Structure 1
Amino acid sequence: MSTSTNEVVKEIEGDDPEDVLFNNLYGLRTIELNRPRKLNPLNASMIRKIVPRLVEWEKSNMANVIVMKGAGERAFCAGGDVYELAQQNQEGPEGQKRSSEFFALEYKLDHYIATYQKPYIAFMDGITMGGGVGLSIHAPFRIATERTVFAMPETRIGFFPDVGASFFLPRMAGAIGTYLALTSENLTGANAFYSGVATHYLHSTSLPNLESRLAELRFKDYYTMEERLAIIEMTIEEYATGLPHNEPMLLAGELRKAIDRCFSKSSIGEIVTALQQEEGPTKAWAEKTLVTLNKRSPTSVHVALEQMRVGKSWSIAETFRKEHQIAARFMRHPDFVEGVTTQLSRERPLPTPKWQPATLEAVEPSDNIAEPFFQESEDVPKLKLLNGRDYIEYPYRSFGVPTEKDVEDLVNQATRTRREIRDEFVRRKKGRQGISTIVDEILARKTRNDANGKAAWIYEDN
């Protein structure tokens, strides 16, 4: 399959010369998003600078490691510059067309990162939402810090979880991805790591020293990508100083079971009913979640659920092509302008958005309001990606934290105690911090001890 294209992305007159900063130090190449006062929102000017550098460095024998980070202490990247898009959309079809073209540009960059053939590390230090997720979530290494705030907040603004979320979220364990997609809930600090959104957790003060160390790394020409990534994995862990004791795992235990019970349903109506039926320790969570869902754009919630159902079968290239079609549809839908302008209002408290349709209850199952968003529009050109690379599963996901599937496989491969299983994962990860906590939670929730004290996997239909 071809890995290149004639598609060229380059700067144009009027682009801000200072919105992205680039730096070279020995074998390290850094990209720093430089709009800290606005929380480093991604715009077309920034993308037109980043893409040519990534293309250049991928071809260079001098570039060993690429780091993506944000300027300032508050945000890696808080998302795309949606205010500008909402203003364009109010100009009518031409403005909506320009907004769609922005998403085409953004998704080309995200796909290029997802299929990049040099080690790429994202410092998710601070707010990491929307467009910032696209710059980080497909990377083999994603470092969370105590300042990380991760979310896909699109249902809050009348949009849908994009930037490849159709690929990443459905592949998360259980119904976590669906829960995050529909509710736009945040994961902070260590919980971005515990959930698998991040591959590592470091204190923010360690990042400059890590950069310096990464710059010193040397790889033999014959090293495979996996061998290079394995060296980087060990290097990152050199700077681990422990996980915070005051931030326990959030999506765990009874709450995690409730998320899987409720958000594994096949329709919004069934999810709402399941939440209404929650009792015991998760009843308060369910009530709060119902309030949250009823604040979100009903159209966005329905589209996001369909996304989570169909996206798990999409390849990475197919994901961005289909998301571009969905994004173009949303640029013509009134909820996007309504949601963005409401969120950015100076009124306090924020006014209530006037969604169309207005509420989840107003949507009948027969309405199929999500269906049109998944139909290709002839007036929206098929997205031309920057290379022909594709895959159906992340090629380097083994460098992340153990998944439930990983634990299930080991439980079923051999007769072991829970402790032996946990110790095996810790050994495989060379003692990486947090691995034992993650595996212990999965084992406590998904296994039972048999008559011999060995772990047996609990299947839902048993």
Structure 2
Amino acid sequence: MPLKAKIMSQQLARQKSTSASKAAENDAEDVLFNSNYGLRSIELNRPSKLNALNGSMISKITPRLLEWAKSDMANVIVMKGAGPKAFCAGGDVATLALWNKNGQQQKSIDYFSKEYQLDHLIATYQKPYIAFMDGITMGGGVGLSVHAPIRIATERTVFAMPETTIGFFPDVGASFFLPRMAGEAGTYLALTSERLSGVNVFYTGLATHYLHSSSLPQLESRLAELRFKDYDDMPSRLAVINATIEEYCTGLPYDEPMFLAGEIRNAIDRCFRHDTVHEILAALEAEQAQKQQDPQVQAWAKHTIDVLHQRSPTSVHVALRQMRLGPKWSISETFKREHQIAAKFMKGQEFTRGVTSKLIDRSKGPVQWEPRTLEDILPEENISEDFFKVDEKLPKLELLSRTDYVEYPYSREFGLPTEKDVMEKVSLGLSTPDEVLQHFLEEKRNKQGVLEVVSEILARKVAEDKQGTAVWVDHLEQPTTTA
């Protein structure tokens, strides 16, 4: 081929590649919007990619939510995913890693700006917003769902914040919702990237309701028929929606035990309450070495040690520091601080290294992290400190809503009773354990899951005094290694 023709052919190929790339980033069908009476639905429509969230999808969803917020015709918003496998498996991190490798870190930072703006808008939205967490719900998908006042898990739900597996940190507001989980469950999920499936997403409070996936289409049609008066406030509207959802509950699976429960849950609180990774590892080793320990707890401790050593050492340290600072942050400050942390990860190498190995090259061997192992980081080193310093040179995240809060506004009304709720009731010193359970069953109108969750909390955290009155206890004493 003549040189001129060869050059023209290469130029044409580059043009086609660029056009294809732009088309992929701005697919007109990657999000579907639908109006049905008073219901407005958003359907993430990339089922072949497990509905992974990209910039094109965010650029469509955000203005539509802003538009519906002003509309008198939009009563209820439903966020869902296309196909049976996933609600949303996360952000399109492979694209971000490729941008970083090509020196386009600012494009990655801009992506997080748009994503966090959307997540904060959802967290502060002033109309009923319902997330169908049907299928894989991870990372970016959690940001689209966990901040909603109504969150529905199904038998197909698989929840995780998997960021420590790819050299990142639990973002999309994880600094807010994970530390506010009972005990150290959130810290455990943040550092290990452990998965929760099906009804366990409901038991932990990450979902407010549990339905079979086959009920969702009927529920959506019923929600479209709801009518509200102009003077109905947000709590009143959500109460009607909550009652409507409860009509479709068909019971909990009998063959799926509660995961974060019993002695394993006590061990999680003992081990992950520490403020350094080295102390957490030492606590796990003590659990494993204790010969009088429950064999299931010993096996869990060994597994958890192995898992932590597979994660990015930098990410594990950052995630732990994040879990300790997060309870002090409001929802707005959370996203502003996470934006700074994300920008620093984009400018570094750990995220790009992890995503390239895990998701692009799909290497079967361990990722070559830097530092390589948790043991390579000395106890006196504070490698996470720089991630939490506010860098004035980085652009500030401009949020789309002025609403702010330090606790989720509706978490107690529509979800299951929490450990904190039970502790407050017990601390009054006026009830037997059976009376405490009956109180919550009546308060929640026999909502499914109340019996199971409150009974587990009572069995694990409550004893009876000589008068039969419920007394709160803890199980934070560390087991002693025996020879």
* Normalised-by-shorter TM-score class: over 0.9
Number of corresponding residues: 448
Whole-Å Cα distance in 2 between the matches of residues 219 and 411 of structure 1? 38
CA spacing shift, 1:366–1:414, aligned 2, 3 Å: closer
Q: CA deviation at 1:342?
A: 1.6
Whole-Å Cα distance in 2 between the matches of residues 461 and 139 of structure 1? 33
Q: CA deviation at 1:454?
A: 2.0
Task: Name the aligned partner's letter for residue 169 of structure 2.
Answer: F
Q: 1:128 aligns with which of 110, 122, 137?
A: 137
Report what 1:365 is aligned to: 379
Report what 2:433 is aligned to: 418
Q: CA deviation at 1:40?
A: 0.2
Q: CA deviation at 1:49?
A: 0.5
Whether the aligned pair in 1 keeps the contact of 2:94 and 2:360 (CA below 8 Å) is no
Q: 1:387 aligns with which of 401, 425, 430?
A: 401
Q: CA deviation at 1:364?
A: 1.1
Report what 2:76 is aligned to: 65
TM-align CA RMSD: 1.4
Whole-Å Cα distance in 1 between the matches of residues 178 and 281 of structure 2? 20
Report what 1:304 is aligned to: 319
Report what 1:7 is aligned to: none
- Stretches of structure 2 that go unaligned for 5 or more consecutive residues are 1-21, 478-483
CA spacing shift, 1:290–1:387, aligned 2, 3 Å: same
Q: 2:281 aligns with which of 272, 275, 280?
A: 272
Q: CA deviation digits over 1:55-99, x for unaligned, max 9?
A: 11111111111000000000000000000000000012xx11110
Q: Which runs of 4+ in 1 moved over 4 A?
A: 345-348, 459-462
Task: Name the aligned partner's letter for residue 376 of structure 1.
Answer: V
Q: CA deviation at 1:346?
A: 5.8
Mapping for residues 327-346 of structure 1, pairs under 5 Å: 327-345=342-360
Q: CA deviation digits over 1:196-238, x for unaligned, max 9?
A: 1111110000000000110111111111111111111111111
Q: CA deviation at 1:430?
A: 1.4
Q: CA deviation at 1:131?
A: 0.1
Q: 2:35 aligns with which of 13, 24, 47?
A: 24
Report what 1:9 is aligned to: none
Whole-Å Cα distance in 1 between the matches of residues 46 and 111 of structure 2? 18
Whether the aligned pair in 1 keeps the contact of 2:429 and 2:471 (CA below 8 Å) is no
Task: Name the aligned partner's letter for residue 294 of structure 1.
Answer: H
Whole-Å Cα distance in 2 between the matches of residues 61 and 326 of structure 1? 38
Whole-Å Cα distance in 2 between the matches of residues 115 and 365 of structure 1? 39
Q: 1:147 aligns with which of 140, 148, 156?
A: 156
Tell me if 1:231 matches 2:252: no
Q: CA deviation at 1:374?
A: 0.6
Report what 1:292 is aligned to: 307
Mapping for residues 21-420 of structure 1, pairs under 5 Å: 21-92=32-103, 95-278=104-287, 279=290, 280-281=293-294, 282-345=297-360, 350-398=364-412, 399-420=414-435
Q: CA deviation digits over 1:273-315, x for unaligned, max 9?
A: 0000003221111010000000000000000000000001100
Whole-Å Cα distance in 2 between the matches of residues 69 and 131 of structure 1? 13
How high is the sequence identity, in percent, across the aligned residues? Answer: 63
Report what 1:3 is aligned to: none
TM-score w.r.t. the length of structure 2 is: 0.91
CA spacing shift, 1:81–1:345, aligned 2, 3 Å: closer
Whole-Å Cα distance in 2 between the matches of residues 199 and 385 of structure 1? 26
Matched position secondary structure for 2:78 = strand
Matched position secondary structure for 2:214 = helix
Task: Name the aligned partner's letter for residue 377 of structure 2.
Answer: V
Task: Name the aligned partner's letter for residue 362 of structure 1.
Answer: D
Q: Which moved more, 1:286-295 or 1:428-437?
A: 428-437
- Stretches of structure 1 that go unaligned for 5 or more consecutive residues are 1-11
Q: CA deviation at 1:418?
A: 1.3
Matched position secondary structure for 1:254 = helix
Q: CA deviation at 1:16?
A: 1.3
Whole-Å Cα distance in 1 between the matches of residues 348 and 201 of structure 2? 32
Task: Name the aligned partner's letter for residue 403 of structure 2.
Answer: R
Report what 1:429 is aligned to: 444
Whether the aligned pair in 1 keeps the contact of 2:38 and 2:75 (CA below 8 Å) is yes
Higher-Rg member (1/2) = 2
Report what 2:472 is aligned to: 457
Whether the aligned pair in 1 keeps the contact of 2:441 and 2:447 (CA below 8 Å) is yes
Report what 1:6 is aligned to: none
Whole-Å Cα distance in 2 between the matches of residues 337 and 388 of structure 1? 33
Whole-Å Cα distance in 2 between the matches of residues 458 and 288 of structure 1? 27
TM-score w.r.t. the length of structure 1 is: 0.95
